Amino acid sequence: MKLFNEIKIGDKIAKNRIVMPPMTRSRASKGDIANELMAEYYAQRASAGLIVSEGTQISQQGKGYAWTPGIYTPEQIDGWKKVTKAVHAQEGIIYAQLWHVGRVSHNSLQPNNQAPVSSSALRAEGVKVFIDPEDRGPEAGTGEMVQHSMPRALSIPEIRVIIKQYAQAAQNAIAAGFDGVEIHAANGYLINQFIDSESNQRTDEYGGALENRLRFMREVTEAVADAIGKEKVGIRLAPFTTLQGTVDRNPSKTYLTAARILNEIGIGYIHIAEADWDDAPEMPLTFKQELRNLFSGVIIYAGKYTKERAEKMIDSGLADMVGFGRPFIANPDLPYRLQNNLSLNEGNRLTYFGGTSNGYTDYPFANLR
């Protein structure tokens, strides 16, 4: 079964083709610092071929939810060193997901309570973010979901600053011990807000024509690749989803063009997020086939995959690795369970975001290997 075969990712050899994809868990300490509890959580799951960390903001402006970690201060870098050291002690591979939420934020989370930023001054109605108005911290496990604040459009000089912040965040990630980075360009966050036609109403070189809408993605990826080496860079895309109000008129053309650009840059992998809600439309097989033809690096898919579906995707050659998201929350030894056809623990949704070790590091292993 190829799912349990080794594969090269970046400059490392992954022990299997199972990916733990990024999942926000909102356990960071004050100052948005990764902590010992997070180190334990990730180390428990180090049997994955690749771990991609939860979304990690590249600046305070990039923050969209309470209790999420950053990677732009010395203290945050030191916090992540605890995590990477713990994962490497278990012979795991871990990448940092670099995150700027763009408009999906709230004034209370922004520097000096400023407006969030985006490609365009458009608000996605009904899109909510998680805030902690009473500053109780993640241990309280309670906060408030509120409509994201009205954003303002970024100026070109500001765009160039953010591109540099991505590159610096990538260097910070390597300094913190990560094996590489994944650029978050999916799920309706900042890069996605530039890519998709309905969320980008700019008329300058970052809007309008497809080449212009993809310019920000390209320039961020080039900057990050130059900063740490292209083989250590991945990117996450969500071609056919409409999360956080991002919609594209022609997603096949848009994202296959993106793949062509990313292949020219020569990054290590593309991570495709498929729709994972009930009754979600399936991604067209023709898209997956064309993506495989266009991109020569590692291709990862994630989105409600079972062991059987994952094996089929890898055997077909359309995917090189497959992500299993929520199952990793409740099953720290998921690869072992999958390989041995063991039953899976059920996750407790009430403890997914915020809280303590309960529902985070206390899920049982199948055995005590």
- Cβ–Cβ contacts within 10 Å for residue 76, how many? 23
Do residues 153 and 56 make contact, with C-beta atoms less than 8 angstroms apart?
Answer: no
Give the residue among 55, 40, 79, 119 at the shortest CA–CA distance from 271. 55
SS (H, E, C) the chain: CHHHCCEEECCEEECCCEEECCCCCCCCECCCECCHHHHHHHHHCCCCCEEEEEEEECCCCCCCCCCCCECCCHHHHHHHHHHHHHHHHCCCCEEEEEECCCCCCCHHHCHHHCCCEECCCCCCCCCEEEECCCCCCHHHCCCEEEECCCCEECCHHHHHHHHHHHHHHHHHHHHCCCCEEEEECCCCCHHHHHHCCCCCCCCCCCCCCHHHHCHHHHHHHHHHHHHHCHHHEEEEECCCCCHHHCCCCCHHHHHHHHHHHHHHHCCCEEEEECCCCCCCCCCCHHHHHHHHHHCCCEEEEECCCCHHHHHHHHHHCCCCEEECCHHHHHCCCHHHHHHCCCCCCCCCHHHCCCCCCCCCCCCCCCCCC
189, 206, 301, 363: which one is catalytic? 189
Query: Does the annotation mark 41 as catalytic?
Result: no
Do residues 159 and 206 make contact, with C-beta atoms less than 8 angstroms apart?
Answer: yes
Separation between Cα atoms, residue 220 and residue 159, nearest integer Å: 10
Separation between Cα atoms, residue 185 and residue 201, nearest integer Å: 18
Active-site positions read 189
